[in-house]
Amino acid sequence: MLTDYIMNTQKNLVEHLNSFYTPSGLHVYVKEPLVNQEIDIEDVIGKVEDIVPEHLRAEMEMVIVGWFDEFEEQKINAFYRDGALYISPAVADAENMFDDAVHEIAHSVEAAYGYTIYGDQNLKKEFLRKRKYLHDMLWTKGLKTPLSIFMDPEYNEEFDMFLYKTVGYDKLSSMCQGLFVSAYAATSLKEYFATGFLEFYLEPNHNFLKKVSPQLYKKLIVIQSPEKLDNDG
């Protein structure tokens, strides 16, 4: 009897670690184990739920840790699709997992509050002004690319490769200081929003974001409050 009890207890523990629900009802499924066994996924997801308001997590129904082709094809560690957040088992550490989760929640928020975020075009205008400035800086340094490419707010793989291969990450990061929250924010309008969303919830004083991207900051203030959303609607 004692042996059966111990075996059942261990089985239940393993099943809990592989599949569990958070207090808010989010289903977490660990399909393949994390490479870094020191990461406490329950702790990470708990911190995400603590910091991001419930209504902004409403689109995310499940977290799945496992190997998916997108990680290799796109050189990423996380992506959001159809109500699920997918996380690579190769994520480096708990901090990276937390950042990836909040960043991908931002993309789920776009589906729910896209009109509030993008409808008046103010965010797009702010983003493209920064892209134009970046284009002009690169042009003066001999990195000449048609302005039309910079004025397309959608993600473009060729443009992404230009930034990270031709310009170089170190140079781009230096040029983006005070212009974008991070170099990655320059890759597309959607990533501009997502990187700002992450910054908003990582740095509660908001001073940096408010200074660098005032229109983005205003959008985030609106969507974080259900009352403001009701009034906006």
84-132 pLDDT per residue, tens = 999 999 999 999 999 999 999 999 999 899 999 999 999 999 999 999 9
Pair (167, 223) in one structural domain: yes
Query: Counting beta carbons within 10 angstroms of the beta carbon of residue 138, is it exposed (0 to 12), middle (13 to 18) or buried (19 or more)?
Result: buried
Pair (97, 188) in one structural domain: no
Domain CATH for 12: 3.30.2010
**Residue 87 in contact with residue 78, Cβ under 8 Å?**
yes
Among residues 112, 133, 151, the one where a domain terminates is: 112
Q: Report the amino acid identity of residue 182.
A: S
| 149 vs 183: CA distance, rounded Å | 17
Pair (96, 131) in one structural domain: no
Pair (97, 173) in one structural domain: no
Nearest to 39 by CA among 57, 63, 6: 63
Residue 230: the pLDDT is 58
- Number of structural domains the chain divides into: 2
Pair (93, 147) in one structural domain: no
Pair (69, 47) in one structural domain: yes
**Residue 181 in contact with residue 173, Cβ under 8 Å?**
no
Q: Give the pLDDT band of residue 229 (cuts 50, 70, 90).
A: low
In the chain, pLDDT over 90 holds for what percent of residues? Answer: 82
Q: What is the mean pLDDT of the chain?
A: 90
Give the pTM.
Answer: 0.88
Pair (97, 127) in one structural domain: no
| 116 vs 142: CA distance, rounded Å | 39
| 217 vs 208: CA distance, rounded Å | 10
Burial profile 160-198: b = 16 or more Cβ within 10 angstroms, e = fewer: eebbeeebeeeebeebbeebbbbbbbbbbbbbbbbbbbb
Sheet arrangement for strand 84-87: 19-21, 27-30, 62-65, 84-87, 78-81
Pair (46, 95) in one structural domain: yes
Residue 231: the pLDDT is 57
Pair (55, 105) in one structural domain: yes
Among residues 89, 112, 135, the one where a domain terminates is: 112
**Domain with 19 in it:** 2-112
First to last CA, the chain: 61
Pair (226, 168) in one structural domain: yes
Residue 77 predicted with pLDDT over 60:
yes
**Residue 126 in contact with residue 214, Cβ under 8 Å?**
yes
Pair (108, 123) in one structural domain: no
Pair (52, 134) in one structural domain: no
Instruction: Classify 25 in phi/psi space as left (phi over 0), alpha (psi -120 to 50) or beta.
Output: left
Q: Report the amino acid identity of residue 152.
A: D
Residue 75: the pLDDT is 87
Three-state DSSP at 130 gives helix
Among residues 94, 112, 130, the one where a domain terminates is: 112
Q: Give the pLDDT band of residue 228 (cuts 50, 70, 90).
A: low
Residue 9 predicted with pLDDT over 70:
no
